Each structure stands twice: as structure tokens, then as C-alpha cells.
Structure 1
């Protein structure tokens, strides 16, 4: 299970791909990365104990940027990707799925974006869906700006896994790896963890081709994926509730250093976005997040323009009822 020797000088970008019995489309995926206009990268490919022609196909690629890993047993996507992360040396970590295709400028544009936006922890790309023959089915457009993505992430996952480039420091701040017990939905769990502490973005350019076919993992494990997504969401809401309680009690409690990334009014805005996103979940989280936002910044124009409908009025009333008790708790 030892990786091949890699170049001495670390690359700026580490592209990580795991493949299990992916010989049908693997050559297209690999060639799409090797053909990038940005060439300062290492390409870590983990063969997750494939039993088809995957090992032989990988062996045919003679490129010093490729780092090959071979798992002795099938680990599943999350743990196989974690093996790749363990040897990755790039400042930025990019993903690539074994049945998809990255367009030539993808890495270059994502590197440029992260270099110019230091508070963004991960950036995805707009994707086109293709069929097994590579014919375009549709363009999958999602929110691109942080505010809408923060809200949307509490409803579903709007960021295509294979299209993402992450800042290594942002990844390390939340544990440096995927949750290994999630065989599916591991990306959603990671995006939720990272978006609590960092901005997120999606490039408007179509830079990724996502292949929709019967053999894809998301098709085979839909029930498991839904359950894992639900668990990831509930875990995220609980973490954010704990964070909110700490923020409103500051300076009477000690805060983690990463909370200094945003000012108190900026945290207020984030909790308001989260309140909007959590409306479908309920369980008291929307009102709790809205109340936290109000206490952190009661004069925010975002707050007073939020939720002009019935739900918004209810959240404002809930926040107002809780403001006095929260401030009293802050002074204890």
C-alpha cells in the first residue's frame, strides 16, 4: 500500500481521486486533469481495491505528476480519499471523480479565486450533467455567493463534490479529513463543517462535467445517502447552536481563535442566513439562530429586512422575546 515516489518540490495543488471498478470512464477523468492549463499539481489516484481493468488502465499513464495508491481492501470513498489526503502536500486540495470530466481551465480559475479571496475555504464550479456517452443533459446551476450558499447548505448540498477545490488550512481546521463512517454523503458533512468557519463559493463558469449513469454510487445507495445527509445536517445545527451560545456570552466565555475571522456583526449575518436555511428543519433552530443574530447586532439592516412574510415576523418576535434573557445571561 505504499505510494509511488513523488517529485521533491511540493506542488501548489493536490488533486485527489478515488476509483473503484471505474475502468469505463477512468481514462477520460485522468486525461481531463493531465490536460489542465494549470500544471503545478500532483495527482493522487487511490485505487480502492478494484477488480476490473482499473489497475492496468492507471499503469498506462506515464506522467510524473501522478501518485498511485492501492488499497489492499475496499475502504469506501471517504476512507480512500482520506488516504490521499494523508499524503497530499498542496496548499490547495482539489477533487476529481473517476467518472467525471474537468474542463481545461478549472484548476487555474479555482486557484486564482482562492488566491484573491482569503476568507473562502472552498470553491466549487458550475457543472453540466452528461450521460454515459458524454452527451449534455442539463446545466446544474446553484447559488454562487456565500450568503445564499450558507442558507442553501442547510436544505441540501448545492456544491458538486468532484468540482471542489479546498484551502488546506481550512480543511485542517475541521479535522483534515472526511468522516470515515459516511460511505455516502461525506462531502455534504465536510462542506457543513467548513462553512461554519469559512466562506464558500461556486464559480459561475461551467468547469465540470458530472456523469449520470446507473453504476454511480449515489444511485446505488440513495437510502443510505439520505440518512447520512440528515445526520450531517442535524450535527451541523447542533454545532452552530453551541457556537451561537458562546458568541452571545463573550467575553464571559473563551472563544476559539478561528471565531476572530469574522466580526460580531458578520457573525450576526451568518446566523441570520442559517436561521433562514433551517426553516424546513424546525426543532427551534430558526428562532434560536435569529435570536443569536439579534443579540450580536440588533441594529443590522439585514436583520430588519429579513423575512417580510409570516415566518420572518415569527422569527423576529421570537428573537425579541429572547433578547432580554440572552443579554442577562451574557452579563452573568
Structure 2
């Protein structure tokens, strides 16, 4: 199967990353695979990120800057809606890509006509470009599915996906807006339905940045519990083949439970226990894990 003529749409939201954004863009422009469009949106940065983006004149760069800060998820979804490629991929504005990243990923699709999503191993780098290590992921569909729903064998920004997958599932669910793990939930759902694969080649350089948005939790319990939301969402999809977060009744009950659990982890036992109890009352037909969690933290409530 010859896919070399297929177009890739690469989505790059950018926010306050003036130190890294030029390298991120150059790593795409210097790809050995040439048929792509790079859709970029500055998300109302307060530094020079937008100026640095606008300094590039390559015609493959298409800009959709935000007039107000929308957050990563909404910005990414907006760029996706403007994309025209046969494949959709990503590049975080503080990361960068191996020059053969897309060529090798497209070759994976050429060798397997049923493949719908592909990723790769990842190199972790510091803010000063020091190599911190390598992340390898399960490579076959069977291995990736076996790890679900508790483990997600990918870095979301290192993925590439055929458009027909997004035509069925869209991109990121807005339940995860500004809390993170939207890519993990999306990948878990898609991997449970379609053929997926990870290459052992490290083709993506992931910035292990302690100041990144994903690390700036600052006590936000919903952010702290974001991966747990993804786990429960995928678990529900595997069982019901339905999207949990489209059911406001069930998702609200789950949200109260996980927020309560997170508050208890932060030793706010009174607030946390109240939310766990409320989640049980809201959905008494799914009490097992919630009751066991309540039994764990209820004694601590009385001690405090």
C-alpha cells in the first residue's frame, strides 16, 4: 500500500513556550516526509510565543491564534476541526520530533492496511536538552489492550491516526478540559476498537518540564484525579461500548467519588468523605468500590 502521497495534519497548540517553540516548529519543517500541514494556535500567551510563531513564513504553517486563553484541549479540538489531512498527528510546542518521525510512522501503515493508530518510543529530555531516559511502550494491539484500562501504552502527542478514526470518535472529550489525561482516555477507547501499534524507534522527544501546564496542579483535585477519570471512562467503554461522560447522571456520580477520594488523599477527610457519601446516594447501583473507600477513610474522619 503506497501512502507516501497522503497528507498529515499536525496540530500544535502553544502557550508560554518561547524557549522551545522554535525548535518544535523546525523539527516539523525539517521532516523527511514532506506532505503535511502544521496547524498552530497561540493560546493567548503572555510571553513571546506568538511573535516567534509568526516569524516563520513556511506556507505549510497555518495559524489560528486564540483571542483569549482556551486551554490545550479546546485549542487542539479547534485545530482538528480546521485540518484537511488524511492523517492527524500532534506536536506539543515544548517538545520536538526526530527528522524521520512521520516517514517511519507512515511506513508502519503501509505495512499493515488494518492499522489505524501508530505511536513510538519516546526520549525524555530536560529543559536544557539533557537526555533523561527513554520510554518504551507495548507494541502490538494485543499487548496494548491487555494493559487497559489501568495502563495506557502511549504518549498522546507522539501518536498519528487515520482520519476515519476521528470521524467516528472525534478528538478530545470536553469533560477533560483543563484537567489533562484527555489523550489517554481517547487512546484507550480507540485502542479497544481499532488496530494500534507502537514502534520501538524513539521518534518523539518529550520535554520533562516541571513548569509545564500538566505539572502545575497546585491542589486542583480534578487535575490530580484526571488519570483516574480516564481509567474509569475506558473501563465503562470496554464494558458498555458507551461514553460514560455523555451520561451526566453517571459521570457526576463518578466525579463526586473521585474528587472525594482525592480530597481524602490530601487529608481533607471531612470534605472527601461527604463527596463519597453523596456519590453513593446519587448512584446506589454502583456502590462496591465506593463503600470500600468510605470504610477506609470514615474512621479517619472521626479521628480528625
TM-score by length of 1: 0.68
Counterpart contact for 2:149–2:232, Cα < 8 Å? no
Count of aligned pairs between the two proteins: 236
Describe how 1:164-243 pairs up with structure 2 within 5 A.
164-174=159-169, 176-182=170-176, 183=178, 184-221=180-217, 223-243=221-241
Q: Deviations over 1:33-56 (max 9, x none)?
A: 000000100000111111210111
1:221-250 CA deviation, whole Å, 9 max, x = no partner?
A: 385444222122212222221249xxxxxx
Residue 136 of structure 1: how far off its partner (Å)? 0.5
**Structure 2 stretches lacking a partner, 5+ long:** 243-287, 290-304
Q: Radius of gyration: which is bigger? A: 1
Q: State yes or no: 1:53 paired with 2:48.
A: yes
Q: Distance in 2 between matches of 1:235 and 1:205?
A: 30
In the TM superposition, what is the alpha-carbon distance from 1:196 to its structure 2 partner?
Answer: 2.1
Q: Mark the runs of 5 or more structure 1 residues left unpaired by the alignment.
A: 1-9, 245-282, 285-332
SS state of the match for residue 70, structure 1?
coil
Which of the numbers 23, 28, 34 marks the counterpart of 1:39? 34
Displacement after TM superposition at 1:93 (Å): 0.5
Moved over 4 A (4+): none
2:155 to 141, 149, 160: 160
Equivalent-residue separation in structure 2 for 1:110 and 1:169 (angstroms) = 17
The 2-side partners of 1:177 and 1:36 are apart by 24
Q: Secondary structure at the match of 1:125?
A: strand
Q: CA RMSD in A?
A: 1.9
- Give the TM-score of the pair, scaled to structure 2: 0.74
Q: Is the 8 A contact 2:8 2:36 kept in 1?
A: yes
Q: Distance in 2 between matches of 1:92 and 1:113?
A: 13
The residue matched to 2:59 in structure 1 has which SS?
A: coil
- Contact conserved, 1:11 with 1:89, CA < 8 A, in 2? no
Say which SS state the counterpart of residue 29 (structure 1) adopts. helix
Measure how far apart 1:24 and its partner are.
1.1
Whole-angstrom CA distance in 1 between matches of 2:7 and 2:71: 27
